A and B are shown apart, each in its own frame.
Chain A
Amino acid sequence: MSSEVVTAAPGLEFEEPILTIEGRIRELERLGPANETVEEELRQLRRQWTDETRRIYGQLNPWQIVQVSRHKDRPYTRDYLNLAFDEFVELHGDKFYGDDRAMLTGFAKLDQQKVMVVGHQKGRTYKERSACHFGCAHPEGYRKAMGKMKMAEKYGLPIICFIDTPGAYPGVGAEQRGQAQVIAESMYLMSQLRTPIICVVIGEGGSGGALGIGVGDRIAMLQYSYYSVISPEGCAGILWKSHQFAPKAAEALRFTSAHLQGFGVVDDVLEEPLGGAHRDHHQMASRMKHYLTRTLAQLREIPADDLVQQRYEKFRQMGRFLEADTAAT
């Protein structure tokens, strides 16, 4: 019956049953004011959509979660700035080399609260994506972020970091301008800032490039995002000798939001709308706003000395090891 061709992007084939139903719904809706039979069919289709989406999204494996986190329609930092904040005043200027489009920084208002936002940006159109290097920041991006975060501390603005990167950019210029140096310095700086910091992994949390803006008082993750020491493809290339084993590596790395909460690395997981954040930017943004507002209110109550001390202890206790003396007795 449907004339609409439904194809899922590579890796997202598991969404096909959902896309098929969505295609038929759109088609019926296009017909305009409908009679009772069409209305009934629509009602049935919507029920079917809910059941099917719940079934599919209820059993996503880690590799499928990676695909969702990379979905081309997934809300990016810029989308949250548009939908969850009242105002965004972008500040460029790393005062050193150039403006990295993979890192967005600036003043923002969240329910009339003034904050500083720092976030990776992937870009929606091909042109934007290549200008943003697909969300892979250069050293100038981290320098810009550090500059704005220092400014936030100076003027008492809380900091909100949106993490969404496959990793810091691997290139000749990036190495020449100190990629390792800036990531190290940024963590070093963030561990000492006397202002509240909330970090949210909204899509991909790609290793050092993510952690470079990832040291905060609260670390949150969207339900279908991932945060990992290495990309599943990179891990598969090293340990299984082929990128084709990425799904296996995704399983082994235990990097989904549920796992990370279990390891004590992530404090909060933000539930996504049914079928993923890419299906409903408004609802996701509204949940984000609610989470940020509530968490900021808690953090603002904590005196700066305690805040910095608690942040130190938070990261200090991360890791798993045995103490042989106690294990032996």
Chain B
Amino acid sequence: MAIVERNDQAETKSKVFKRREIPAGLWIKCGGCQATIYSKEAQKLLNVCPKCQYHFYVSAQERLEQVLDAGTFEEWDNHLRPTDPLKFADKKSYAERLVAEQERTGMTDAAMTGCGMIRARRVAIGVTDSAFIMGSMGSVVGERLARLVERATEQKLPLIIVSGSGGGARMHEGILSLMQMAKVSAALSRYREAGGLFISVLTNPTMGGVAASFASLGDLVFAEPKALIGFAGPRTIKATIKIELPPGFQTSEFLLEHGYIDRIVERSKLKSEIARAIDYCGW
């Protein structure tokens, strides 16, 4: 279900590269307002453009630091490693691609899960990182999330999942990646039965099989401003219906207007908004 096709992917990928390769103290161009801004200034604002509030990419690691009380994150299931069940190869074999992505990002796969504190309340938290093969969901992402949800159920913890995925399911793992959607959704279904509070946070981009599974199943759904969120990629839609897409189509604001998002939350307020929701729900 990697619906965002070629050009989108190439674009996003190069952006990710650029972002990762910005040494501190340089001038960078904002993808939102095109203004040239001092990167240190954006970093101070949690990677948000000071001029237009455009939310740049943040890694899973940085996200955890932004949301959790300092030094409280305890990672779960980091010992799970992706494998290559299809012996998949396009121009590069999936096995090689995995090694390259692991070296480039320092992650073992596209999601980190575990527990930590938010304003001294213990929570279960998962973050997908859109830099690792587009933040796509393969077996490891699915398994880490399913275990996260199951532990949150057993330990009666509030659950937070921050999504960022341009690809949705990971096609290199074929049908097994598609089935992760059902697997994580089934786990969430049990979590809800048990009375849990699931806060889903959507970031740029949240598409395809990630949008069409756990990301849409929050008791509360928050989104960062101006994120691209949807099922089918804009280019696929354009190619199918052959008309221009309405302005602002598939943005957080568009989804809010159509009733699929509860709140648009700026990055600087994410932690306090999550804490407040947990407080209201008493979970």
Contact = CB atoms under 8 A, between A and B. Distances in A.
Contacts of A169: 240
Interface stretch (A12-20, A120-128, A184-192, A290-298): A184-192
B236 interface: yes
Contacts of B245: 172
Interface in B28-71: none
A1 interface: no
Contact of A188 (B90, B189, B215): B189
Interface residues of A, number: 59
Given A170-B232, A179-B231, A191-B185, A230 B180 contact: no
A324 B80 contact: yes
Instruction: Identify which of A192, A208, A237 gathers the most chain B CB atoms within 10 Å of its CB.
Output: A208
Contact of A184 (B6, B90, B91, B217): B217
A227 B185 CA distance: 19
Interface string B164-205: 000011110111111111110111111001000000000000
Contacts of A183: 212-213, 231
Given A229-B178, A252-B86, A252-B88, A320 B79 contact: no
Contacts, number: 215
Interface in B240-268: 240-241, 243, 245-246, 249-250, 258-260
B183 A315 contact: yes
Contacts of A327: 81
A161 B2 CA distance: 24
Interface in A183-238: 183-185, 187-189, 191-192, 207-208, 211-212, 214-215, 227-230, 234-235, 237-238
A187 B169 contact: no
Given A260-B175, A265-B179, A181 B260 contact: yes
A80 to B, nearest CB: 23
Nearest to A168: B231
A263 B217 CA distance: 27
A184 B90 CA distance: 30
A228 B79 CA distance: 28
Contact of A192 (B2, B193, B211, B240): B193
Interface string A154-172: 0000000000000011111
Interface stretch (B112-120, B121-129, B137-145): B137-145
A212 B140 CA distance: 22
B85 interface: yes
A315 B139 contact: no
B278 interface: no
A229 B171 contact: yes
Given A171-B240, A207-B169, A312-B190, A319 B6 contact: no
Contact of A170 (B86, B88, B187, B231): B231
Given A170-B232, A207-B169, A324-B81, A238 B182 contact: no
Nearest to A230: B171
Interface in B69-125: 79-83, 85-86, 88-91
Contacts of B142: 319
A51 interface: no
Given A227-B175, A238-B6, A319-B142, A172 B86 contact: no
A327 B82 CA distance: 12
A92 B61 CA distance: 48
B260 A321 contact: no
A243 to B, nearest CB: 10
B88 to A, nearest CB: 6
A325 interface: yes
B225 interface: no
Nearest to A214: B182
B96 to A, nearest CB: 14
A204 to B, nearest CB: 13
A247 to B, nearest CB: 13
B193 to A, nearest CB: 7
B51 to A, nearest CB: 29
A317 to B, nearest CB: 9
B182 to A, nearest CB: 5
Nearest to B229: A180
A161 to B, nearest CB: 13
B219 interface: no
A197 to B, nearest CB: 12
B83 A320 contact: yes
Interface in A270-329: 311-312, 315-316, 318-325, 327
B181 A253 contact: no
A239 B91 contact: yes
Contacts of B229: 180
Interface of A: 168-172, 174-181, 183-185, 187-189, 191-192, 207-208, 211-212, 214-215, 227-230, 234-235, 237-241, 252-255, 259-260, 263, 265, 311-312, 315-316, 318-325, 327
9 contacts: A208-B169, A211-B178, A227-B175, A239-B90, A253-B86, A254-B175, A311-B186, A318-B179, A320-B139
